[in-house]
Amino acid sequence: MSEALPADSQGKIIVFGASQIRRAWVDEQWYFSVIDIVGALTDSASPPKYWDAMKRREKAGAGVDLSTFCRKVALTGADGKTYQSDGVNTEAAFRIIQSIPSPKAEPFKRWLAEVGYQRVQEIENPELAQQRMKELYKEKGYPDDWIEKRVRGIAVRDELTSEWQKRGIADQQDFAILTAEISLATFGVTPAQYKNLKGLQRENLRDHMNDLELIFTMLGEAATTEIARNKDAQGFVKNKRAARAGGSVAGSARRQLEAKSGRKVITSENYLIDKPKPKLPSKLKNPKKT
């Protein structure tokens, strides 16, 4: 799953109502307490014992060791002390939920089944994926004109990464370095620095850009694609030069706009603090009875 479990600023997972789900930020992603998830979705008087029984049942029945989906993370207990406890990232959390035979877990299971079916449909008809993406952004409170720019930006990014792959760039770390070169030349900051400016952690940086930030991001990446293609850049070193050159095109345009308008393009504003809170999928808020 690419989307994080919805959580508020106090660390509660909204979809679990009032239940407190402890979490820890590890290796650039959230890890959630398995014991807390089990406790929230079952009526067990002892979630740790329930979790142990779950693991035994799954291993005996399906031959699956649920422990392999977990990692030990430091979580604060009720006594205020820190303990190493089983934690799961978002994808693994949903896998654990699938193994919980509880009515409270059924809305999640039905939602996961629907998401899987939609994914199959999107493979057969890619236009559906784009339409659903627009609907998701709309539910989160983004305006239509912003959504169009965001979707267009995704297409520009996809074209760039496809071009890089054709030119011998395959490692994700290399992708990140080249992207940082474009950002640095365009805005004067790397993506990590940009996220710090906006107060973001795991969130997607581009989902928190304003219109102008998206436009200049697109310009830098589109220019990089054009330069790499026309210069026939092959390998990492030459594509790094193309990335700098492409970003410089956007950076020059940004500085000209700032000089004429008297206002900086890059801003600390973001949709976490400046826009409406995301809406939960209706099936999770008001699950239909079966």
pLDDT in 10s for each residue of the chain, 290 residues: 333 444 444 444 444 555 678 888 777 677 889 999 898 888 789 999 999 999 999 999 889 999 999 999 998 888 888 889 999 988 888 888 888 888 888 877 777 677 777 777 777 777 777 788 888 888 888 999 999 999 999 999 999 999 999 999 988 899 999 999 999 999 999 999 999 999 988 788 999 999 999 999 999 999 999 999 999 999 999 999 999 999 999 999 999 999 999 999 999 988 765 554 444 344 444 444 43
Going from the C-alpha of 145 to that of each of 78, 142, 214, 215, 220, the distances in angstroms are: 47, 9, 12, 12, 20
Q: Which residues touch 3 (CB under 8 Å, ≥6 apart)?
A: 90
Bridge partners of residue 31, in order along the sequence: 24
- The per-residue b/e assignment along 52-62, b for 16 or more CB within 10 angstroms, e otherwise, is eebbeebeeee
Going from the C-alpha of 118 to that of each of 124, 238, 266, 271, 281, the distances in angstroms are: 10, 40, 36, 27, 14
Q: Crossing angle for the helix pair 34-41 and 90-98, nearest 10 degrees?
A: 40
> Could you give the CA distance from residue 21 to residue 18 in angstroms, rounded to a whole number?
9
pTM: 0.61
